[in-house]
Protein backbone atom coordinates (compact mmCIF):
# COMPACT_ATOMS: atom_id res chain seq x y z
CA UNK A 1 0.00 0.00 0.00
CA UNK A 2 1.45 3.36 -1.00
CA UNK A 3 1.13 6.70 0.73
CA UNK A 4 -1.58 7.62 -1.79
CA UNK A 5 -3.72 4.64 -0.81
CA UNK A 6 -6.30 4.77 1.94
CA UNK A 7 -8.13 1.80 3.42
CA UNK A 8 -11.87 1.83 2.97
CA UNK A 9 -13.52 3.28 6.08
CA UNK A 10 -16.00 1.24 8.11
CA UNK A 11 -19.68 1.37 7.26
CA UNK A 12 -20.22 3.83 10.11
CA UNK A 13 -17.61 6.54 9.50
CA UNK A 14 -16.23 8.37 12.48
CA UNK A 15 -15.87 12.11 12.43
CA UNK A 16 -12.33 13.45 12.23
CA UNK A 17 -10.90 14.64 15.53
CA UNK A 18 -11.55 18.29 16.26
CA UNK A 19 -8.33 20.16 16.87
CA UNK A 20 -8.10 23.35 18.87
CA UNK A 21 -6.98 26.27 16.74
CA UNK A 22 -3.36 27.26 17.24
CA UNK A 23 -2.33 30.19 19.37
CA UNK A 24 -4.27 33.32 18.48
CA UNK A 25 -4.95 36.16 20.87
CA UNK A 26 -8.09 35.79 22.94
CA UNK A 27 -11.30 37.47 21.74
CA UNK A 28 -10.97 39.98 24.57
CA UNK A 29 -7.85 41.46 22.98
CA UNK A 30 -9.23 41.99 19.51
CA UNK A 31 -6.92 44.89 18.54
CA UNK A 32 -3.89 42.75 19.35
CA UNK A 33 -5.40 39.88 17.39
CA UNK A 34 -5.93 42.18 14.42
CA UNK A 35 -2.32 43.34 14.62
CA UNK A 36 -1.10 39.74 14.54
CA UNK A 37 -3.38 38.94 11.62
CA UNK A 38 -2.11 41.98 9.70
CA UNK A 39 1.53 41.08 10.30
CA UNK A 40 1.06 37.52 9.09
CA UNK A 41 -0.94 38.59 6.04
CA UNK A 42 1.69 41.24 5.27
CA UNK A 43 4.42 38.59 5.42
CA UNK A 44 2.58 36.50 2.83
CA UNK A 45 1.98 39.56 0.64
CA UNK A 46 5.68 40.47 0.75
CA UNK A 47 6.83 36.99 -0.25
CA UNK A 48 4.31 36.56 -3.07
CA UNK A 49 5.16 40.05 -4.31
CA UNK A 50 8.72 38.93 -4.96
CA UNK A 51 7.44 36.84 -7.86
CA UNK A 52 4.10 38.40 -8.83
CA UNK A 53 4.92 41.95 -9.94
CA UNK A 54 2.29 44.67 -9.94
CA UNK A 55 -1.51 44.61 -9.53
CA UNK A 56 -1.53 44.78 -5.71
CA UNK A 57 -5.36 44.78 -5.63
CA UNK A 58 -5.34 41.28 -7.15
CA UNK A 59 -2.97 40.00 -4.47
CA UNK A 60 -5.05 41.64 -1.73
CA UNK A 61 -8.19 39.89 -2.97
CA UNK A 62 -6.36 36.55 -2.87
CA UNK A 63 -5.38 37.28 0.73
CA UNK A 64 -8.99 38.17 1.52
CA UNK A 65 -10.08 34.74 0.33
CA UNK A 66 -7.30 33.07 2.32
CA UNK A 67 -8.25 34.88 5.54
CA UNK A 68 -11.96 34.16 4.99
CA UNK A 69 -11.38 30.48 4.26
CA UNK A 70 -12.87 30.71 0.78
CA UNK A 71 -12.00 29.65 -2.75
CA UNK A 72 -10.89 31.88 -5.62
CA UNK A 73 -11.56 31.94 -9.35
CA UNK A 74 -8.91 33.85 -11.32
CA UNK A 75 -9.89 34.99 -14.82
CA UNK A 76 -7.71 36.56 -17.47
CA UNK A 77 -6.31 35.99 -20.92
CA UNK A 78 -3.28 33.67 -21.18
CA UNK A 79 0.08 35.04 -20.17
CA UNK A 80 -0.94 37.41 -17.35
CA UNK A 81 0.57 35.39 -14.51
CA UNK A 82 -2.49 33.63 -13.07
CA UNK A 83 -0.65 30.35 -12.57
CA UNK A 84 2.45 32.17 -11.33
CA UNK A 85 0.41 33.95 -8.66
CA UNK A 86 -1.01 30.68 -7.35
CA UNK A 87 2.41 28.97 -7.45
CA UNK A 88 3.99 31.85 -5.53
CA UNK A 89 1.26 31.68 -2.89
CA UNK A 90 1.83 27.94 -2.53
CA UNK A 91 5.52 28.62 -2.11
CA UNK A 92 4.91 31.22 0.63
CA UNK A 93 2.60 28.87 2.55
CA UNK A 94 4.31 25.81 4.00
CA UNK A 95 1.38 23.59 3.05
CA UNK A 96 0.83 20.63 0.80
CA UNK A 97 -0.24 21.69 -2.67
CA UNK A 98 -1.19 20.03 -5.94
CA UNK A 99 -1.83 21.17 -9.48
CA UNK A 100 -4.38 19.76 -11.91
CA UNK A 101 -4.27 20.80 -15.55
CA UNK A 102 -7.87 20.68 -16.75
CA UNK A 103 -8.25 19.30 -20.27
CA UNK A 104 -11.28 18.08 -22.27
CA UNK A 105 -10.40 14.41 -21.58
CA UNK A 106 -9.87 14.82 -17.81
CA UNK A 107 -12.12 12.50 -15.77
CA UNK A 108 -13.67 13.29 -12.36
CA UNK A 109 -11.79 10.36 -10.79
CA UNK A 110 -8.54 11.97 -11.93
CA UNK A 111 -9.28 14.71 -9.39
CA UNK A 112 -11.04 12.98 -6.50
CA UNK A 113 -9.52 9.50 -6.67
CA UNK A 114 -10.90 6.01 -7.19
CA UNK A 115 -11.04 2.50 -5.69
CA UNK A 116 -8.44 -0.03 -6.81
CA UNK A 117 -8.20 -3.76 -6.12
CA UNK A 118 -5.25 -4.81 -3.97
CA UNK A 119 -4.44 -8.44 -4.87
CA UNK A 120 -2.18 -8.92 -1.83
CA UNK A 121 -4.80 -8.03 0.76
CA UNK A 122 -7.71 -9.01 -1.52
CA UNK A 123 -9.50 -5.79 -0.64
CA UNK A 124 -10.36 -2.54 -2.33
CA UNK A 125 -8.36 0.51 -1.32
CA UNK A 126 -8.86 4.14 -2.20
CA UNK A 127 -6.26 5.82 -4.34
CA UNK A 128 -6.30 9.47 -3.33
CA UNK A 129 -6.56 12.10 -6.02
CA UNK A 130 -4.79 15.47 -6.04
CA UNK A 131 -7.74 17.08 -4.24
CA UNK A 132 -6.36 15.65 -0.97
CA UNK A 133 -4.14 18.64 -0.30
CA UNK A 134 -4.20 22.06 1.37
CA UNK A 135 -3.86 24.25 -1.72
CA UNK A 136 -5.28 22.96 -4.98
CA UNK A 137 -4.51 24.74 -8.24
CA UNK A 138 -7.16 23.93 -10.83
CA UNK A 139 -5.44 25.32 -13.89
CA UNK A 140 -7.66 26.40 -16.79
CA UNK A 141 -10.70 24.85 -15.13
CA UNK A 142 -13.01 25.81 -17.99
CA UNK A 143 -11.03 23.72 -20.48
CA UNK A 144 -12.83 20.64 -19.08
CA UNK A 145 -16.55 19.85 -19.46
CA UNK A 146 -19.04 20.40 -16.65
CA UNK A 147 -18.95 16.75 -15.55
CA UNK A 148 -15.29 17.08 -14.61
CA UNK A 149 -15.67 20.57 -13.17
CA UNK A 150 -18.32 19.28 -10.78
CA UNK A 151 -15.79 16.91 -9.21
CA UNK A 152 -14.72 19.86 -7.05
CA UNK A 153 -18.21 20.78 -5.85
CA UNK A 154 -18.31 18.56 -2.76
CA UNK A 155 -14.72 19.34 -1.82
CA UNK A 156 -15.29 23.09 -2.01
CA UNK A 157 -18.63 23.10 -0.20
CA UNK A 158 -18.22 20.40 2.43
CA UNK A 159 -14.44 19.88 2.69
CA UNK A 160 -14.82 16.19 1.98
CA UNK A 161 -14.71 13.80 -0.96
CA UNK A 162 -17.01 10.84 -1.55
CA UNK A 163 -15.46 7.87 -3.34
CA UNK A 164 -17.37 4.63 -3.89
CA UNK A 165 -20.06 5.79 -1.45
CA UNK A 166 -17.59 6.57 1.35
CA UNK A 167 -16.74 10.06 2.57
CA UNK A 168 -13.19 11.17 3.31
CA UNK A 169 -12.42 14.51 5.01
CA UNK A 170 -9.89 16.84 3.45
CA UNK A 171 -6.95 18.09 5.52
CA UNK A 172 -7.55 21.58 6.91
CA UNK A 173 -7.07 24.16 5.61
CA UNK A 174 -8.33 23.50 2.10
CA UNK A 175 -8.37 26.21 -0.55
CA UNK A 176 -9.13 25.75 -4.23
CA UNK A 177 -7.64 28.32 -6.57
CA UNK A 178 -8.92 27.93 -10.10
CA UNK A 179 -7.76 29.80 -13.17
CA UNK A 180 -9.86 30.21 -16.27
CA UNK A 181 -9.62 31.90 -19.63
CA UNK A 182 -12.42 34.21 -20.79
CA UNK A 183 -15.35 32.18 -22.09
CA UNK A 184 -15.11 33.95 -25.45
CA UNK A 185 -11.91 32.03 -26.19
CA UNK A 186 -11.99 28.88 -28.27
CA UNK A 187 -12.05 25.54 -26.44
CA UNK A 188 -13.64 26.75 -23.19
CA UNK A 189 -16.72 25.49 -21.35
CA UNK A 190 -18.75 27.87 -19.16
CA UNK A 191 -18.75 26.92 -15.50
CA UNK A 192 -22.17 25.88 -14.15
CA UNK A 193 -23.88 28.35 -11.82
CA UNK A 194 -23.65 25.89 -8.92
CA UNK A 195 -19.89 25.66 -9.44
CA UNK A 196 -19.43 29.43 -9.67
CA UNK A 197 -21.43 29.98 -6.49
CA UNK A 198 -18.90 27.92 -4.50
CA UNK A 199 -16.14 30.43 -5.18
CA UNK A 200 -15.94 33.15 -2.56
CA UNK A 201 -14.39 35.62 -5.00
CA UNK A 202 -13.90 35.95 -8.73
CA UNK A 203 -10.72 37.94 -9.33
CA UNK A 204 -10.06 39.55 -12.73
CA UNK A 205 -6.46 39.94 -13.86
CA UNK A 206 -5.89 42.57 -16.54
CA UNK A 207 -2.80 43.60 -18.48
CA UNK A 208 -0.11 45.16 -16.28
CA UNK A 209 0.83 48.80 -16.66
CA UNK A 210 3.94 49.68 -18.62
CA UNK A 211 6.30 50.12 -15.64
CA UNK A 212 5.26 46.82 -14.05
CA UNK A 213 5.68 45.05 -17.37
CA UNK A 214 9.19 46.49 -17.75
CA UNK A 215 10.11 45.21 -14.30
CA UNK A 216 8.62 41.83 -15.16
CA UNK A 217 10.55 41.49 -18.41
CA UNK A 218 13.79 42.57 -16.74
CA UNK A 219 13.32 40.06 -13.89
CA UNK A 220 12.64 37.12 -16.20
CA UNK A 221 15.13 37.85 -18.97
CA UNK A 222 18.15 38.77 -16.85
CA UNK A 223 20.71 36.01 -17.50
CA UNK A 224 18.10 33.29 -17.97
CA UNK A 225 16.74 31.39 -20.93
CA UNK A 226 13.59 30.04 -19.29
CA UNK A 227 10.50 32.21 -19.73
CA UNK A 228 9.35 31.91 -16.13
CA UNK A 229 9.95 33.50 -12.76
CA UNK A 230 12.41 32.05 -10.28
CA UNK A 231 10.40 31.23 -7.15
CA UNK A 232 13.47 30.42 -5.04
CA UNK A 233 13.35 33.92 -3.52
CA UNK A 234 9.85 33.27 -2.12
CA UNK A 235 10.25 32.05 1.47
CA UNK A 236 7.76 29.96 3.39
CA UNK A 237 6.25 32.08 6.15
CA UNK A 238 3.05 30.30 7.27
CA UNK A 239 2.12 26.68 7.88
CA UNK A 240 -1.28 24.93 8.02
CA UNK A 241 -1.75 25.67 11.72
CA UNK A 242 -1.00 29.35 11.15
CA UNK A 243 -3.58 29.56 8.36
CA UNK A 244 -6.24 27.93 10.53
CA UNK A 245 -5.41 30.47 13.23
CA UNK A 246 -5.67 33.34 10.75
CA UNK A 247 -9.08 32.16 9.62
CA UNK A 248 -10.29 31.72 13.20
CA UNK A 249 -9.14 35.22 14.10
CA UNK A 250 -10.76 36.75 11.02
CA UNK A 251 -14.08 35.12 11.92
CA UNK A 252 -14.03 37.05 15.22
CA UNK A 253 -14.07 40.47 13.53
CA UNK A 254 -17.18 42.36 14.63
CA UNK A 255 -19.95 43.17 12.13
CA UNK A 256 -22.72 45.56 13.17
CA UNK A 257 -26.31 44.64 12.39
CA UNK A 258 -26.62 47.75 10.20
CA UNK A 259 -23.66 46.60 8.10
CA UNK A 260 -25.15 43.13 7.75
CA UNK A 261 -28.42 44.71 6.66
CA UNK A 262 -26.50 46.77 4.09
CA UNK A 263 -24.86 43.66 2.64
CA UNK A 264 -28.20 41.83 2.46
CA UNK A 265 -29.87 44.81 0.75
CA UNK A 266 -27.15 44.88 -1.89
CA UNK A 267 -27.56 41.18 -2.65
CA UNK A 268 -31.38 41.44 -2.60
CA UNK A 269 -31.21 44.32 -5.08
CA UNK A 270 -29.51 42.07 -7.64
CA UNK A 271 -32.62 39.91 -7.78
CA UNK A 272 -34.89 42.59 -9.27
CA UNK A 273 -32.40 45.03 -10.78
CA UNK A 274 -33.12 45.96 -14.42
CA UNK A 275 -30.79 44.09 -16.74
CA UNK A 276 -29.97 41.26 -14.31
CA UNK A 277 -31.63 38.04 -15.39
CA UNK A 278 -30.40 35.99 -12.42
CA UNK A 279 -29.51 37.59 -9.09
CA UNK A 280 -27.32 36.36 -6.25
CA UNK A 281 -28.69 33.98 -3.63
CA UNK A 282 -28.20 33.91 0.15
CA UNK A 283 -24.73 32.45 -0.33
CA UNK A 284 -23.86 35.80 -1.90
CA UNK A 285 -24.81 37.62 1.31
CA UNK A 286 -22.72 35.21 3.36
CA UNK A 287 -19.76 35.59 1.01
CA UNK A 288 -20.00 39.37 1.11
CA UNK A 289 -19.87 39.52 4.91
CA UNK A 290 -17.13 36.87 5.16
CA UNK A 291 -14.97 38.69 2.65
CA UNK A 292 -15.64 42.06 4.30
CA UNK A 293 -14.30 40.71 7.60
CA UNK A 294 -11.04 39.82 5.88
CA UNK A 295 -11.00 43.18 4.11
CA UNK A 296 -11.27 44.89 7.51
CA UNK A 297 -8.31 42.89 8.81
CA UNK A 298 -6.15 43.93 5.87
CA UNK A 299 -7.17 47.53 6.59
CA UNK A 300 -6.06 47.22 10.23
CA UNK A 301 -9.49 47.27 11.85
CA UNK A 302 -11.30 44.90 14.19
CA UNK A 303 -14.73 45.81 12.82
CA UNK A 304 -16.38 45.93 9.39
CA UNK A 305 -17.45 49.21 7.82
CA UNK A 306 -19.78 49.84 4.86
CA UNK A 307 -16.67 50.74 2.84
CA UNK A 308 -15.40 47.19 3.34
CA UNK A 309 -18.67 45.87 1.92
CA UNK A 310 -18.48 48.17 -1.10
CA UNK A 311 -14.80 47.48 -1.75
CA UNK A 312 -15.21 43.71 -1.91
CA UNK A 313 -18.68 43.65 -3.49
CA UNK A 314 -17.51 43.34 -7.11
CA UNK A 315 -15.27 40.25 -6.70
CA UNK A 316 -17.81 38.69 -4.32
CA UNK A 317 -20.84 39.14 -6.61
CA UNK A 318 -19.69 39.44 -10.25
CA UNK A 319 -19.83 35.66 -10.77
CA UNK A 320 -23.16 35.23 -8.96
CA UNK A 321 -25.29 37.27 -11.35
CA UNK A 322 -26.27 36.74 -14.98
CA UNK A 323 -26.98 39.68 -17.26
CA UNK A 324 -30.00 39.86 -19.52
CA UNK A 325 -29.27 39.15 -23.21
CA UNK A 326 -29.88 42.75 -24.26
CA UNK A 327 -27.14 43.99 -21.92
CA UNK A 328 -24.75 41.35 -23.16
CA UNK A 329 -25.42 42.45 -26.74
CA UNK A 330 -24.61 46.03 -25.73
CA UNK A 331 -21.27 44.81 -24.38
CA UNK A 332 -21.95 45.59 -20.74
CA UNK A 333 -20.20 43.61 -18.03
CA UNK A 334 -21.43 42.45 -14.60
CA UNK A 335 -19.11 45.01 -12.99
CA UNK A 336 -20.82 47.85 -14.84
CA UNK A 337 -24.24 46.83 -13.54
CA UNK A 338 -22.98 46.19 -10.00
CA UNK A 339 -21.35 49.63 -9.84
CA UNK A 340 -24.64 51.25 -10.79
CA UNK A 341 -26.44 49.14 -8.19
CA UNK A 342 -23.97 50.04 -5.44
CA UNK A 343 -24.45 53.72 -6.22
CA UNK A 344 -28.19 53.40 -5.60
CA UNK A 345 -28.24 51.22 -2.45
CA UNK A 346 -27.99 53.54 0.53
CA UNK A 347 -25.25 52.74 3.02
CA UNK A 348 -25.73 53.08 6.80
CA UNK A 349 -24.46 56.41 8.13
CA UNK A 350 -23.64 55.32 11.67
The CATH number of whichever domain residue 96 belongs to comes to 3.40.50.300
Report the C-alpha gap between 86 and 52 in whole angstroms.
Answer: 9
Window from 4-8, 71-75, 125-129 with minimum mean pLDDT:
4-8
Number of domains comprising the chain: 2
Does residue 128 form part of some domain?
A: no
- Mean pLDDT score of the chain: 84
Q: CA angle, 82 as apex, 341 and 111 as ends, to 5°?
A: 100
Report the alpha-carbon distance of residue 265 to residue 293 in Å, rounded. 17
Is the alpha carbon torsion for 189, 195, 197, 202 positive or negative? Answer: negative
Ranking 3-7, 26-30, 149-153 by mean pLDDT, the lowest is 26-30
Same domain, 172 and 320: no
Q: Tell me which range, 11-20, 176-185, 332-341, is most confidently predicted by mean pLDDT.
A: 332-341
Q: Are residues 167 and 310 in the same domain?
A: no
The CATH number of the domain where 262 resides is what? 1.10.8.80
Beta-bridge partner residues of 101: 139
Same domain, 168 and 141: yes
- The answer to whether position 34 is within a domain reads yes
Report yes or no on 12 lying in a domain: no
Q: Which domain holds residue 153?
A: 24-105+133-252
pLDDT digits (tens, 9 = 90+) for 246-257: 999 999 999 999
- Integer Cα distance of 278 and 276 in angstroms: 6
161 shares a domain with 33: yes
Which of 220, 236, 252 finishes a domain? 252
Q: What is the pTM of this model?
A: 0.84
Same-domain status, 188 and 240? yes
Evaluate if residue 272 carries a pLDDT over 90: yes
Q: By the 8 A CB rule, do 276 and 270 touch? A: yes
200 in a structural domain: yes
Residues 150 and 39 in one domain: yes
**What sign does the dihedral 191-197-179-57 (CA atoms) show?**
positive
Boundary residue ending a domain (229, 252, 275): 252
- Is 16 inside a domain boundary? no
DSSP-derived secondary structure letter, 79: T
Which of 336, 328, 291, 297 is closest to 309 using CA atoms? 291
Question: Is it the case that residue 263 has pLDDT exceeding 60?
Answer: yes
Amino acid sequence: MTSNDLPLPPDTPTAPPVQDPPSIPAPGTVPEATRVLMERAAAVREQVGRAFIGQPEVLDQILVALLAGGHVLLEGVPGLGKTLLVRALSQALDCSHARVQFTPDLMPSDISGHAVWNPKSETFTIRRGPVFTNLLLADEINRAPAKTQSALLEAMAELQVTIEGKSFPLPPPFMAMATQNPVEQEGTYPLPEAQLDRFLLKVLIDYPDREDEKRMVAAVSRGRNAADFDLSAVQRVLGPEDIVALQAGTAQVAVDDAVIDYAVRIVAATRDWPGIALGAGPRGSLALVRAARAQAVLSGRDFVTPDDIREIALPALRHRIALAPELQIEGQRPDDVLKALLAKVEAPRQ
